[in-house]
Structure 1
Amino acid sequence: MQLRRMLAPGSALALLVAAFAPAAAAAPTALLFQAPMHPVTGQHGAAPFFVSHGGGLHATSTSDNWSGYAATGSTYTSVSTTFVQPAVDCSQGDGYSSFWVGLDGYSSSSVEQTGTEADCSGGQAQYSAWYEMYPANPVTYGNAVYPGDTITETVKYSSNTYTLTLNDKTEGWTKTTSKRESGLARSSAEVIAEAPWSGSVLPLDDFGTVTFDNNTVNGAGLSAANPTGIDMASDSGTPEATTSGLSGNDFSITWDSL
């Protein structure tokens, strides 16, 4: 049991712990979008695209806003992952990061997704959870998220309904949102760490390494979908986040630079 749950609200020790605890959800000054993938040479708002630079069993591509894995080449109805919410190091200045699963966005202009946010603003870390039916605005849940929390995320499609579920096992809450949409491509399914967008791609904050476990696509292990690995780099080619190879259906992403 975490210390904050053992303290009586209003006690002197509880107030002291709260003062030094990482912030939970906080209202951003501008909307942060989790957008479709786009290349290191492109401008946001252009048609989503990727630049291939690899081969082998799992090809790799490079993006200036996505890192992780995307299954493509079929029509997808579900994707899920479990990970431990990483803590962000805010000592290098403001930065932003999100960790999500979704359908679409690799080669289509919509993304149906749910995830968590870990941002550095004014030297302070802020954590939150959300869903987004891009290009519609993201919606932030009011539930608290903290580094070290075990998070499970799932997006499912059936009969023109997208069901987006985020469970914080550590804090003991689940949020499920259903949205009816027709005509979306469902041409990819992905597990992603992203540098969000607000007018342009934002700096990616230092989240260390995040490991995504028990990844599934269409009800089977991620590896069965022969997904494409995605590394993140700036438009000038500076590595920002590197995706590991698959170990079974699991993989990790390591932050490289702000």
Structure 2
Amino acid sequence: MSSPRRRAAAAIALSGAISAALISTPAASAGIVDGTALSARPATPDLPASTSANWAGYVATGGGYTSVSASWTQPGVSCRSQTTYASFWIGLDGDGSNSVEQIGTEADCSGGRAAYSAWYEMYPNGPVDVAGPISPGDAVHASVTYNGSGRFTLVIGDRTKGWSHTFTPHLDNPALASAEVIAEAPSDASGVLPLSNFGAVRFTGASANGAALGAFHPDPITMANGGTTKADPGPLSAGGDFAVTWHAG
């Protein structure tokens, strides 16, 4: 099964301009980003502060991010007749910036059957599929590191199956504006795609710049559309652990 091409590409400035490759991205405060309204609420462990049409997880903003990493257990998806998609990833940028450096896994449904895969993306370049089998329950680890002069190191591995891949792409003038650990409903040219029922995904050891993600006071993001919650993050522990839970809506 081929997946859409498509991840959360770089955010455009708050002018409301829309890139051909971009549908929507979250932000850390109330406003309009790429035509998507975002609501701000007080941050508490049980009440996420922002909403997005396609992201759920935690986003650290403020700039100066040169690395991000996390581990997660690959979720299985419950497939019916509808074609659906879900991505689980870590990355730099994409929230209020024109660059994206992301790597993660996929869990899609087509014709009642599930397909699992890995990928990375350096927007504005398109996503690249990563070779290696992935199954529900596998232990996945990923990292993105900026080495200076436009050079990045992206790593993803399946510790259960014993494979790992390292990529060294180049991207001129990266913003390095944010660091994210996210579950996503992917997008294509028509908009945000239906989200796979992934139950829950648990991220562990989420970090940025070598410190636990919580040290940067990241913004918790709930995925919602028209007042209907599609997925939301639980509390972030001191060690960088949290879960994102799918909702039937």
8 A contact 2:100–2:124 mirrored in 1: yes
Equivalent of residue 54 in structure 2, options 41, 45, 65: 65
Pair 37,233 (structure 1): closer, same or farther in 2 beyond 3 Å: farther
Structure 2: runs of 5+ lacking an equivalent? 28-37
Give the aligned CA root-mean-square deviation in angstroms: 2.4
Aligned twin of 1:55: 42
Equivalent of residue 206 in structure 2, options 206, 215, 224: 215
Distance (Å, rounded) in 1 between the aligned partners of 2:74 and 2:198: 9
Equivalent of residue 77 in structure 1, options 66, 74, 77: 66
Distance (Å, rounded) in 1 between the aligned partners of 2:126 and 2:26: 22
Larger radius of gyration: 1
More strand per residue: 1 or 2?
Answer: 2
* 1:1-258 matched pairs, under 5 angstroms: 26-28=1-3, 30-36=4-10, 45=22, 48=25, 50=27, 51-56=38-43, 60-91=49-80, 93-159=82-148, 160-199=150-189, 200-234=191-225, 236-248=226-238, 249-257=240-248
User: Offset of 1:49 from its aligned partner?
Assistant: 5.5
More helix per residue: 1 or 2?
Answer: 1
> With structure 2 as the length reference, what TM-score do the two structures score?
0.85
User: Offset of 1:134 from its aligned partner?
Assistant: 1.6
Pair 48,145 (structure 1): closer, same or farther in 2 beyond 3 Å: closer
Structure 1: runs of 5+ lacking an equivalent? 1-25
> With structure 1 as the length reference, what TM-score do the two structures score?
0.82
The percent identity for this pair of structures is 45
Pair 104,167 (structure 1): closer, same or farther in 2 beyond 3 Å: same
The C-alpha deviation readout for 1:150-175, integer Å capped at 9, x for no partner, is 00010000112111100100110001
Aligned twin of 1:18: none
User: Offset of 1:185 from its aligned partner?
Assistant: 0.7
Distance (Å, rounded) in 2 between the aligned partners of 1:246 and 1:118: 23
Distance (Å, rounded) in 2 between the aligned partners of 1:47 and 1:252: 22
